[in-house]
Amino acid sequence: MSFADLTRARYSCRSYEDRAIEPEKLAAVVEAGRIAPSAHNNHPTQIVICDTPGLKEKAAHAANRFAKDGSVFGAPVVILACARTEDAWVRRNDGMNSSLIDTSIVVDEMMMQATELGLGTCWVCMFDPEIARQEFGLPEGVEPVSMLTMGYPADEIAEPEKREARCISLEQFCDVTR
């Protein structure tokens, strides 16, 4: 599958089959995140793989709006991506910390690898980071950034016309002056 095809195949899956992800597929997704690029090669991201009932329930508690069947959207795997802000590269001019960007890159790389492997994903940012911090016992300086739900889709991608209608136009995308 070409990268262009991959980007068009990916969508936000919110319904999953009750089917486990094969260990080698999960390992490939995790590896894609591990080797993702980061500013100054600092790699300030760490993940929590929620693949047991107890861990999925903790994730669902933090993202309670999307809790379903003891998980987030009923997914067989939820990955909590966290940033270690003190490990990140910081831009000298304005002090911008790259940890959120680096962690987002990790999630994106894992999401695209999962899509290539026939898995559905949904990037979830609507959760309570304080609940996630408590549920997973995250230490100071480890910030929960996003969750990635993953599994075999039980829903289908929208038709191309509907998807295109939700996208920003090329003219708007390329116009920073508006």
**Quick count: other Cβ atoms within 10 Å of Cβ 78?**
28
Is residue 68 within a helix (H) or strand (E), and if so which, with residue range?
Answer: strand 67-68
pLDDT at residue 140 in the model: 94
Helices (H) and strands (E) in the chain, counts: 7, 6
Which among 36, 39, 136, 130 has a CA at the least distance from the CA of 79?
A: 136
pLDDT at residue 3 in the model: 93
* Distances 87 to 19, 42, 44, 116, 146 between C-alpha atoms, Å: 36, 7, 5, 30, 18
Complete domains list, the chain, with CATH:
3-173 (3.40.109.10)
- Which pTM does this prediction carry? 0.95
pLDDT at residue 64 in the model: 97
Residue 149 DSSP SS3:
strand
pLDDT at residue 63 in the model: 98
Provide the 8-state DSSP code for 97. Answer: B
From first to last of its 178 residues, the chain has per-residue pLDDT tens of: 899 999 999 999 999 999 999 999 999 999 999 999 999 999 999 999 999 999 999 999 999 999 999 999 999 999 999 999 999 999 999 999 999 999 999 999 999 999 999 999 999 999 999 999 999 999 999 999 999 999 999 998 889 899 889 899 999 999 988 7
Is residue 146 within a helix (H) or strand (E), and if so which, with residue range?
Answer: strand 142-151
CA–CA dist 3, 10 (Å, integer):
11
> Is there a contact between 70 and 57 (Cβ–Cβ < 8 Å)?
yes
> Is there a contact between 82 and 145 (Cβ–Cβ < 8 Å)?
yes
Q: Which residues of 87-99 are buried (b: 16+ CB within 10 A; e: fewer)?
A: bbbeeeeeeebbb
pLDDT at residue 178 in the model: 75
